[in-house]
Chains A and B, each alone.
Chain A
Amino acid sequence: MNGNRHPLFMPLILVGGLIFGFGLAFSHMARPEVVLDFLQFDDFGLLFVMFGAAIVSGIAFAVMPRIRDGAPLTGDAYRRRLKAFDRNVLIGGAIFGVGWGLSGICPGAAYASLGIGNITILWALVGMFAGAYLQGVWRSKRTAAETAPAGAD
Chain B
Amino acid sequence: MPAELVAQAVPAEPFPNGIARYAIGGLLVGLGAVVIYLGTGIAAGASTFLESTLSYVSDRSRFQQYRASRDWRVVFTLGIVLGAAVYAAVWQGGAWTTNVQPWRLLVGGVFVGIGTRIGKGCTSGHGVCGVGSASKTSIVGVITFLTVAIVTAQLVQAIGMSP
A and B co-occur in one complex: yes
Complex contact B128–A116 (CB within 8 A): no
Point out the residues of chain A lying under 8 angstroms from B42, CB to CB: 71, 74, 76
Point out the residues of chain A lying under 8 angstroms from B97, CB to CB: 117-120
Binary CB contact string for chain A from 3 to 15 against chain B (1 if under 8 A, 0 otherwise): 0000011101111
Complex contact B40–A9 (CB within 8 A): yes
Binary CB contact string for chain A from 104 to 142 against chain B (1 if under 8 A, 0 otherwise): 111111111111111111011111111111111101100
Would A12 and B120 be within 8 Å (CB), given that A101-B148, A130-B109, A134-B114 are in contact?
no
Complex contact A32–B105 (CB within 8 A): yes
**Top 5 A-B pairs ranked by shortest CB distance?**
A17-B79, A127-B109, A131-B113, A27-B25, A92-B119
Mark out the residues of chain B between 24 and 66 whose CB falls within 8 Å of any chain A CB in the assembled complex: 24-47, 49-51, 53-54, 58, 60-63
Bound Cα distance from A9 to B87, whole angstroms? 24
Point out the residues of chain B lying under 8 angstroms from A129, CB to CB: 50, 53-54, 113
List 13 contacting pairs A-B, 8 Å CB cutoff, sorted by A.
Answer: A29-B25, A49-B25, A50-B123, A52-B22, A57-B37, A60-B34, A71-B40, A74-B39, A76-B41, A89-B120, A90-B144, A101-B155, A140-B61
Mark out the residues of chain B between 73 and 111 whose CB falls within 8 Å of any chain A CB in the assembled complex: 75-88, 91-92, 94-100, 102-111
Complex contact A101–B149 (CB within 8 A): yes
Chain B, interface SS category: helix
Question: Which of B29, B130, B151 touches A83 (beta carbons < 8 Å)?
Answer: B130
| Chain A interface bracket (under 10, 10 to 19, 20 to 34, 35 or more) | 35 or more
Point out the residues of chain B lying under 8 angstroms from A19, CB to CB: 28-29, 31-32, 35, 83
Would A127 and B107 be within 8 Å (CB), given that A33-B163, A46-B22, A115-B85 are in contact?
yes
Complex contact A83–B135 (CB within 8 A): yes
Point out the residues of chain B lying under 8 angstroms from A121, CB to CB: 98, 105
Binary CB contact string for chain A from 87 to 107 against chain B (1 if under 8 A, 0 otherwise): 011111111111111111111
